[in-house]
Amino acid sequence: MDLSTLPPSFNEFLKINDVDPVIYTVKDLPRFVRWNTRFPKSELPSAEELQQQLRARKVSPVKGVEGFFGIQLGENLPDSESESDTMQNTRIVDIPAYRENKIFGIDLSSGLAVLALQVQPNDHVLDLCCAPGAKLCMISNIIGSEGTGTVTGVDISPHRVATCRSLVKRYQVAERVRLFNADGTTFKVYAPSRLGARVIREADGENPDRKRQQISQGQTAESSKPASIKPFYAPKILRFDPQMQGEEYLYDKVIVDAECTHDGSISHILKYQTWGWDAFEKNFMDPDRLRDICQLQRNLIESGWSLLVDDGILVYSTCSLSVRQNEENVAWFLHKYGDEVELESIPNIHNVGIKAAPTKQGWTVPNMTDEQKRGLQASIERCCVRFDPITSATSGFFVARFRKVRKRLERKDHSNTIAPIHNRAE
């Protein structure tokens, strides 16, 4: 990549956001794939099997994350044949493991955003910007089919949500997934009702239609009022959920993998060398869009927060490296929500074979004292993570994890400190 070809508006954007353009010159970033744990472990490929299928590529398991593999493009096996064989490397999409849907492509940094949710088999998870759906598939994989958990995915783009539907069907993880084509900033469908959850458990042995009848005949909480937004996709057992409202139907976990400027996605940016930078400037550097994007991200966070249960976890992530879309949004949120929110560190991040880059300073939030700013900066440095191609050998990515603590704090009669930090996850 010749950096002198970057358009001036993008150079300016990178400068304002303290992003080093050198990240776009990093070559041979590994690609990552993950097991589709819908299949029994005995049927899933090992690193050696993947390497064999890919012929001359090096495949390494990611330390600390079972079922994740880094694939080094263009590297020879130690005893690889001739250079011409290497040139004819098998493409990942052509290998049997991929064609049989036993692995899917997801960057390690994205995978860590999902792991930051610490999804449990009984969790109801909301994915507020879900398409095309790699994270949603991974969440559904983790929920599995033993418990009563579900995933609700929302995306504003009809064609992208259609892609997401194809993906969940293809990977056979659609059993507990509802998808909505809707604006995440105003989305108000609560988690599937707990009766709905029972339907899931009993669906094998009982007639789900009878259960649904019982639900619609008023076995509902007083506070609940029916809503009726048609899912874009839902399996039979979730299709007729009465869409109850009320605290007991809030989500256990929320991920806001927000719409952003995508500047951290190196492969995406490099494509514009061929497609033309004019299209890039029009799509991503438009001044109106740049001004509005942080507001959109904040609206998405607040919307997700309003649907999150007390003590629940919200993960905010972007594939931008811009300080405004990351640290500044985190600081704004912590300042606005005060003692209703704790910023937490990303669990087990130090056990994973990936090095995080330092977080950035240089954000501003109005009406904050210097002392508050220093406190928040220290919290952000301690808890949030950035991944970048140079430090982490992944795409550029940012992850923050918040816990909703209002009730717990009320019970303990805590004082009004701003954003208390507990590294409970460590």
Report the nearest approach of ligand SAM to the CB of residue 5 (Å).
Answer: 25
Task: Name the residue among 210, 222, 211, 217 with its Cα closest to residue 248.
Answer: 222
Q: Which residues pair with 308 in a beta bridge?
A: 251
**In the bound complex, what is the minimum distance in angstroms from residue 149's beta carbon to ligand SAM?**
18
* Bridge partners, 386 (sequence order): 357, 398
Q: Using CA of residue 120, residue 122, residue 127, residue 133, what is the dihedral sign?
A: positive
**Site for ligand SAM (CB under 6 A): how many residues?**
19
310 forms part of the interface with ligand SAM (CB under 6 A): no
Piece of the chain touching ligand SAM by CB under 6 A; list 180-188, 193-201, 238-246, 361-369: 180-188
Q: How far is CA 238 from the centre of its chain?
A: 23
Peptide bond into 132 cis (omega under 30): yes
| Helix-strand-coil split of the chain, %, nearest 5 | 40, 15, 40
102-121: which residues touch ligand SAM (CB under 6 A)? Answer: 110
Stretch of residues binding ligand SAM (CB under 6 A), selected from 7-15, 70-78, 182-190, 414-422: 182-190
Alpha helices in 116-265 (DSSP H): 134-143, 158-170, 194-202, 208-216, 236-239
Q: Is the dihedral of CA 73, 74, 76, 82 positive or negative?
A: positive
From 24-32, 97-105, 142-150, 181-189, give the range in contact with ligand SAM by CB under 6 A.
181-189
Nearer residue to ligand SAM within complex by CB, 186 or 217? 186
Closer CB to ligand SAM, 208 or 396, in the complex? 396
Q: Nearer to ligand SAM by C-beta: 268 or 336?
A: 268
Q: How far is the CB of 167 from ligand SAM (least distance, A)?
A: 8
Closer to ligand SAM by CB, 119 or 199: give it.
119
Residue 257 binds to ligand SAM (criterion: CB under 6 A): yes
By CB under 6 A, what part of segment 118-147 binds ligand SAM?
A: 129-135
Shortest Å, Cβ 205 to ligand SAM: 34
Residue 297, CB-side half-sphere exposure with 13 Å CA sphere: 27
Answer yes or no whether residue 304 interacts with ligand SAM by CB under 6 A: no
Is 183 a binding residue for ligand SAM by CB under 6 A? The answer is: yes
How buried is residue 101: exposed, middle or buried, by Cβ count under 10 Å (0-12/13-18/19+)?
Answer: middle
- Does residue number 155 form part of the binding site for ligand SAM (CB under 6 A)? yes
The vertex-29 CA angle with 25 and 33, nearest 5°, equals 150
277-286 contact pairs (CB < 8 A, 24+): 277/5, 277/6, 277/7, 277/10, 280/7, 280/10, 281/7, 281/9, 281/10, 284/10, 285/7, 285/9, 285/10, 285/13
Q: Which stretch binds ligand SAM (CB under 6 A): 51-59, 153-161, 267-275, 409-417?
A: 153-161
**Residue 319 is among the residues annotated as catalytic for this protein:** yes
φ, ψ for residue 178 (rounded to 5)? -110, 140
Is 4 in a helix, a strand, or coil?
helix
Please state the closest distance from residue 318 (CB atom) to ligand SAM, in A.
Answer: 7
Kindly state the smallest distance separating residue 109's Cβ from ligand SAM, in Å. 11
> Binding ligand SAM by CB under 6 A: which of 111, 184, 264, 347?
184
Can residue 259 be called a binding residue for ligand SAM (CB under 6 A)? Answer: yes
CA dist 426 and 423 (Å) reads: 6
Q: Which CB, 150 or 185, lies closer to ligand SAM?
A: 185
Binding site for ligand SAM (CB under 6 A): 110, 129-135, 154-157, 160, 183-185, 257, 259, 319
- Which residues make up each annotated binding site? 155, 183, 257
Active site residues: 319
- Binding site, annotated residues for S-adenosyl-L-methionine: 155, 183, 257
